[in-house]
């Protein structure tokens, strides 16, 4: 049997849970959108010649005692993988960075400039979808906070609840499309991008996981919001039927 009414504490608890999930989704999406660790990996590049007294395995020494011996020089260049070094790199929506050889720091380039011209439009659509995703999440958070702290009646809260549910669901769909489009663009860039950028090995980084975690939190907030809306509507219908039944009993058995 359905209870006579949904306690106010239960409604606020569900609203708070939806707001918390939506807020986490917003924080995660902004962090992922502004970072450059959607994909991480290594690039295989030829070692440069050592300069001065530089020593180590990150460069090729050519000023050895046998430096004038052409056979020795030829032997150095034919040692296979020994002449290559792997540099770590990470890339995001906005830029791609890779470590410097024999120097501290990183060298960064715009990821948009690395994308093949045929896929650049898809990347821009992904960026626009990500911005809309963040914007709709922000609107949803504002509506949910208003519902928790400022609405004056259950009816007002129900209206705000319905609108925030629609906004959150729409945000989740945009986020899913944006993440999938960026994944496609990155894979195309790996295959068709500039020779001096293509990675030797790569995998998705923590920002990519954070972006999909944001999507999961967004959809969980949407489900919680819709569930709260549905329970409130069912409660109103139950109360109306109970009230109609009470009026019918009073009409059939009036007080004398």
- Tell me the per-residue pLDDT of 38-60, one tens digit each, with 9 for 90 and over: 999 888 776 666 665 555 555 66
- Convert the pLDDT of each residue in 161-214 to its tens digit: 888 889 999 999 999 999 999 999 999 998 888 888 888 888 999 999 999 999
- The predicted pLDDT at position 45 comes to 72
- The predicted pLDDT at position 161 comes to 81
Rounded distance, CA 216 to CA 221, Å?
9
- Convert the pLDDT of each residue in 60-74 to its tens digit: 665 455 444 554 444
Identify which of 209, 125, 226, 127 has the alpha carbon closest to the alpha carbon of residue 168: 226
Instruction: Tell the residue number behind the tokens 């944001």, with chain if given.
Output: 214
- How many CB atoms are located within 10 Å of the residue 43 CB? 19
Mean pLDDT across the chain, nearest whole number? Answer: 79
Rounded distance, CA 36 to CA 245, Å?
63
Q: What is the DSSP letter of 2?
A: -
In the predicted structure, residue 33 carries a pLDDT above the cut 90: yes
pTM summary value: 0.76
| Segment 238-244 mean pLDDT | 63
Cβ partners under 8 Å of residue 101, min gap 6: 45, 47, 48, 58, 59, 85, 87
Angle in degrees, CA 33, 125, 141, rounded to 5: 50
* Sign of the alpha-carbon dihedral angle for 14, 17, 19, 22: negative
In the predicted structure, residue 75 carries a pLDDT above the cut 50: no
- The predicted pLDDT at position 4 comes to 39
81 or 97, greater pLDDT = 97
Which domains are present in the chain? 10-35+115-231 (1.20.140.150)
Give the pLDDT band (50/70/90) at residue 132.
very high
Rounded distance, CA 197 to CA 99, Å?
12
| Segment 114-124 mean pLDDT | 91
| Integer CA distances (angstroms), 231 to 17, 22, 85, 103, 237, in order | 15, 20, 61, 62, 10
């Amino acid at each position: 049997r359905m209870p006579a009414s949904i306690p106010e504490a239960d409604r606020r608890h569900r609203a708070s849970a939806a707001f918390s999930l939506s807020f986490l989704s917003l924080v995660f999406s902004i962090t992922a959108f502004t970072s450059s660790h959607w994909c991480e990996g290594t690039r295989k590049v030829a070692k440069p010649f050592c300069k001065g007294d530089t020593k180590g395995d990150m460069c090729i020494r050519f000023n050895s005692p046998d430096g004038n011996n052409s056979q020795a020089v030829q032997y150095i260049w034919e040692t296979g993988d020994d002449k290559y070094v792997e540099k770590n790199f990470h890339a995001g929506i906005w830029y791609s960075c890779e470590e410097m050889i024999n120097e501290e720091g990183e060298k960064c380039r715009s990821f948009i400039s690395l994308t093949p011209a045929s896929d650049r439009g898809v990347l821009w659509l992904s960026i626009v979808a990500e911005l809309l995703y963040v914007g709709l999440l922000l609107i949803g958070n504002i509506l949910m906070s208003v519902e928790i702290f400022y609405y004056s009646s259950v009816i007002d809260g129900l209206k705000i609840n319905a609108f925030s549910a629609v906004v959150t669901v729409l945000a989740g769909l945009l986020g899913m499309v944006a993440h999938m489009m960026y994944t496609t663009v990155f894979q195309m860039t790996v295959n068709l991008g500039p020779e001096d950028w293509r990675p030797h090995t790569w995998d998705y980084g923590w920002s990519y996981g954070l972006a999909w975690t944001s999507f999961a939190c967004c959809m969980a907030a949407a489900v919680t919001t819709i569930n709260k809306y549905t329970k409130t509507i069912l409660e109103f219908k139950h109360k109306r039927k109970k009230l109609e039944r009470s009026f019918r009993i009073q009409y059939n058995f009036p007080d004398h």
